[in-house]
Structure 1
């Protein structure tokens, strides 16, 4: 249990208790809203009615007892359907993170999921929970439900903890608001009736989450035939209402539409473009494009005027207004890994008869899934790896690395060392195998990046040797440094935890391949042993943090060398979810029981 602020009389917890009995009453009233919690509410009510129960010192002791009891039952309950939580290896940190995962899931009346097909949820009035991106900043309202955050976090937060039905509902709910071939960046509350489609990566994380669902959930492939209720029948259609004819289709059809639209080429201007939807974006930033290139198979998109990946900081100071700090336009590295995962997975599903389409066709080009995968893989190897013996001069500043992008409007941006390639390696660990000594090159790239980017809690979002590296984030920082003004350096050095989870997963997979493919090789064994030791060190750091943190969770990011970032979420869903995935990866590869 995290340390309670019982000795600080000025802490909000104590101040609220001194103000009356509203806090215990609030806790009870919230429980009573859910009929399934009636017994628990009665249990709490009985304890709260004890003599002196509402006096701060007594209440703190009582609440500590209740907290421990409920925590024990919650972990017991969440472990019932979780294979990961049945394994004893690293069980303490798994349980801590699994318990934290519960806090992100809740029904919020102003942050509802789009209505699902009655074939999935017969009760139209059902109050379905959604997944908060982080606490306390994204509890409810328009900023609770982010497309990319949801699907980056979902495999760890819901699938590994056995909450399969909630995961299914969220996957199908977001599928219902597919538009222009994209999953929205923001649902914007109101059941997905006013979403924004300014993220070109959310759809790829959505697809990856579906594949994880199929892999983890018993008979998970059935989700491909689950009905999706489409909120927008066409790109320009108004929101479906009771007077409109409903449109429902199998999830696999929605998935194929998303990919087909990318193959055809996506290009549109956001609805209501201007200050009404974004006071910081410049006029050209509202023009969105994304496409699969018919020559290289790579996924391109964006422009110098917007920032459609997770590194999405738009300038908001007079010094940098309407200028994206990290546009990452062109072919962002993580999307190539996710696209290759998609192509290779759909090839297998199609061959087994589980997916209804054999590939993509548009503008005179026709590819099977396998053909797309082969073309994409070759292009990735040609365009993203920088050999140590390259003769290429500036803007190359590091050799033996995997580039952050290809075809960026800012050529230097392609060659910056960032942690985004970990996502691609985690998705497809053998992505460089077509190169001479491709496995060794992959290992060397991860090892070098780890040495440069690893912080105590998270991964630096930019190489410290980079001229624009600024590791401390303050969202409202004034001053004359354009690179830091109003937090423009959000992804230019601060240390993010979710990519640390991806780093550990990717490194474990590559180290395991080395050990497996080279039995008896001392260097390969050392690579695995060092990788496990590094993971164990991170576990110690996270365990200590959770035990001392009143949120009992992992934050969004830290400042330089793990320093607390006051503008970070104290509990972030993808930080928790991605590290749970790393722990599960270790279990799987090591044969933990």
Structure 2
């Protein structure tokens, strides 16, 4: 299998611009930094370990690397950078200066909190080289402030050149260097104001202290050198050399690509498949849940919504599930994730997030539980385990019953007057829908009722399959009522598209937003066919960009063209024009529903998204982009639903395209008449 995914020729570190790299470990841990060297975010580190209790923890912040050739001038390795390439998603740096050529590789063994870095000479020069490594540490939670005071460090020397370093109550960082010659020069170095460039732009603490135990002096010969940094036991940390670990990880990644949908095995699809894998993780520290899941013969698996600061979110997980697991040929993981979140169901809700390092869910999402129905449907439709349905049916019934009866504390419930679902959370700051940041949507949101109708239709079929004919009929009647009310109330003849919100704090909201896409993109569209084309046309002409779909039309007085500034400015812009790549999935679905034979037109909607895999955090997709050109990547540099929905849309519009989602019984009602053309 061809291993080279991407090659970037760089005229020194400045040529890398603001691009970043990231490698994940299947536990929620990772290594990341600027492509040209160093840490630009407070979240960056060469070993960010996923630890029980404390969550993701930066154990090794960065390395200074200096080359000392015999008889020549020393130079900082990053200043000699000429190329970065990605082989099966793994970064490889090449450096050249004064006839000396070196290569650096980095790998994290799967499901281990270990980073291995290897250096080797590519030139044939005879001069002896020494590589001086200075590790810098500031042990802290990865989302904590950069200027948190340093905990008192303690260093222990072990046999065979092994080093253990602790700071405060954090577990030890274990370091071991291998080379033809290894020396350790302890000096207790310190930097009081290490600069984090991205944090400065985001108006967070931009400086932070770092501590170093000293220098590791490595002699480079034909076998090269390597450094192991680990939070695991010594036995696990040293179980593999860097070469062995990279060979194992390459094999694992090759098998991932081989399992994926055939339409995802081209160069773009390959990168997206590998990026998708990074968001699937086995949580550590959720021992109570892990025990229950294991007792049922299952595996505890979840989804990191985004690196580096998001944890697992119910809404994001359910939206991303098809792209992350089913398109990639791993339906068994889809089942495990659904069972994991089902175990968290409480009072008819699945959690909208589970805090990093913890095991208790946070419940205040109106849409996460409705997306759960959709995720199960897609799993079953793509050949998932049919035994999931009877196992999850009681959970689904509790969710429907709770929404119909009303869920105290959140104002979630069905309006008996029209059957539409509303949410009127009395607590300010609680975000019931995905688009509530600085844009309160208390009332009856359009996408919530599209999801509600879809869930009712799915439940009608599932109850019938389970032999509950009376239950199926009752839910089917409710679905028909929702569909009738939706088309009567959400269509706005004054604008030619749908209201975004009914009965909000300021009445009905006529703003042009992408949420209306779900009314025709879901497997059971609530929107009457006569409205499909005008809604699609409104979204494409007013909201589409080459990198995704804007959250608000530019002509709106509340539109923000850029996602910049401090937290307040960013929150204000978050859903007021900022572009969201994940929406390309529903957009492609809607296009193919209206134009079922126009694969080329649907593929065009992906625009420049595939090209952004070489920008931002290389090999993955950002959370958001600016609403205005040139649509720079912003927010979280690696986002699960951005990758998952782009991958799903890529395969739908490729050679392996499937037909549009089949319409169930609820979608076969006669179309309503419409005054629109």
Please report the TM-score for the alignment, with normalisation by the length of structure 2: 0.61
- Judging changes above 3 Å, is the alpha-carbon distance between structure 1 residues 75 and 535 closer, same or farther for their aligned structure 2 residues? farther
> How far apart are residue 31 of structure 1 and its match?
4.9
What residue number does 2:503 align with? 407
What residue number does 2:187 align with? none
Name the count of aligned residue pairs. 465
Candidates 570, 589, 593, aligned match of 2:659? 589
Partner Cα separation in structure 2 for residue 163 and residue 447 of structure 1: 35
Partner Cα separation in structure 1 for residue 501 and residue 375 of structure 2: 23
> How far apart are residue 582 of structure 1 and its match?
2.1
What residue number does 2:486 align with? 380
> How far apart are residue 189 of structure 1 and its match?
4.1
> How far apart are residue 563 of structure 1 and its match?
3.9
Partner Cα separation in structure 2 for residue 384 and residue 64 of structure 1: 59
Candidates 281, 292, 295, aligned match of 1:106? 281
List alignment gaps of at least 5 residues for structure 2.
15-35, 40-45, 47-61, 68-76, 78-90, 93-103, 117-175, 181-220, 228-240, 662-677
Mapping of residues 319-468 of structure 1, within 5 Å: 325-353=438-466, 358-359=470-471, 368-387=474-493, 390=494, 399-411=495-507, 414-428=509-523, 430-433=525-528, 438-439=529-530, 441-468=531-558
Candidates 239, 244, 262, aligned match of 1:86? 262
- Judging changes above 3 Å, is the alpha-carbon distance between structure 1 residues 160 and 180 closer, same or farther for their aligned structure 2 residues? same
Partner Cα separation in structure 2 for residue 555 and residue 2 of structure 1: 18
What residue number does 1:488 align with? 572
What residue number does 1:16 align with? 63
From the CA coordinates, give the structure whose radius of gyration is larger: 2
**Higher helix content, 1 or 2:** 1
Secondary structure at the counterpart of residue 289 of structure 2: coil
> How far apart are residue 121 of structure 1 and its match?
4.6
Please report the TM-score for the alignment, with normalisation by the length of structure 1: 0.69
- Judging changes above 3 Å, is the alpha-carbon distance between structure 1 residues 359 and 336 closer, same or farther for their aligned structure 2 residues? farther
Partner Cα separation in structure 2 for residue 17 and residue 52 of structure 1: 21
Q: Please say if 1:51 is aligned against 2:118.
A: no
Q: Please say if 1:580 is aligned against 2:647.
A: yes
Partner Cα separation in structure 2 for residue 334 and residue 302 of structure 1: 15
- Judging changes above 3 Å, is the alpha-carbon distance between structure 1 residues 463 and 64 closer, same or farther for their aligned structure 2 residues? farther
Candidates 408, 411, 435, aligned match of 1:311? 435
Partner Cα separation in structure 1 for residue 592 and residue 243 of structure 2: 39
- Point out the more displaced range, 206-215 or 532-541: 532-541
Secondary structure at the counterpart of residue 355 of structure 2: coil
- Judging changes above 3 Å, is the alpha-carbon distance between structure 1 residues 118 and 457 closer, same or farther for their aligned structure 2 residues? closer
> How far apart are residue 115 of structure 1 and its match?
3.0
Q: Which has the higher contact order (CA 8 A, sep 6+)?
A: 1
Mapping of residues 485-564 of structure 1, within 5 Å: 485=569, 487-512=571-596, 528-529=597-598, 532-539=599-606, 541-563=608-630
- Judging changes above 3 Å, is the alpha-carbon distance between structure 1 residues 74 and 475 closer, same or farther for their aligned structure 2 residues? farther
- Cα deviation code 1:449-484 (max 9, x no counterpart): 21110112021100111111112112516xxxxxx7
Candidates 409, 414, 418, aligned match of 1:296? 418
- Cα deviation code 1:275-330 (max 9, x no counterpart): xxxxxxxxxxxxx12112233221111247343100131xxxxxxxxxxx211111
Partner Cα separation in structure 2 for residue 449 and residue 404 of structure 1: 12
> How far apart are residue 5 of structure 1 and its match?
8.0
> How far apart are residue 210 of structure 1 and its match?
1.1
Secondary structure at the counterpart of residue 621 of structure 2: coil
Q: Please say if 1:473 is aligned against 2:558.
A: no
> How far apart are residue 421 of structure 1 and its match?
1.2
Task: Indicate if the aligned counterparts of 1:137 and 1:569 stay in contact, CA closer than 8 A.
Answer: yes
Partner Cα separation in structure 2 for residue 409 and residue 357 of structure 1: 40
Task: Indicate if the aligned counterparts of 1:426 and 1:509 stay in contact, CA closer than 8 A.
Answer: yes
What residue number does 1:213 align with? 379
- Cα deviation code 1:328-355 (max 9, x no counterpart): 111111111211111112212222336x
What residue number does 2:331 align with? 164
- Judging changes above 3 Å, is the alpha-carbon distance between structure 1 residues 112 and 120 closer, same or farther for their aligned structure 2 residues? closer
> How far apart are residue 589 of structure 1 and its match?
2.4
- Judging changes above 3 Å, is the alpha-carbon distance between structure 1 residues 5 and 102 closer, same or farther for their aligned structure 2 residues? farther
Task: Indicate if the aligned counterparts of 2:315 and 2:367 stay in contact, CA closer than 8 A.
Answer: yes
- Judging changes above 3 Å, is the alpha-carbon distance between structure 1 residues 259 and 31 closer, same or farther for their aligned structure 2 residues? closer
Partner Cα separation in structure 1 for residue 456 and residue 296 of structure 2: 30
What residue number does 1:253 align with? 394
Partner Cα separation in structure 1 for residue 64 and residue 301 of structure 2: 29
Q: Please say if 1:133 is aligned against 2:305.
A: yes
Partner Cα separation in structure 1 for residue 400 and residue 111 of structure 2: 45
Task: Indicate if the aligned counterparts of 1:502 and 1:579 stay in contact, CA closer than 8 A.
Answer: no
RMSD: 4.0
Partner Cα separation in structure 2 for residue 163 and residue 266 of structure 1: 34
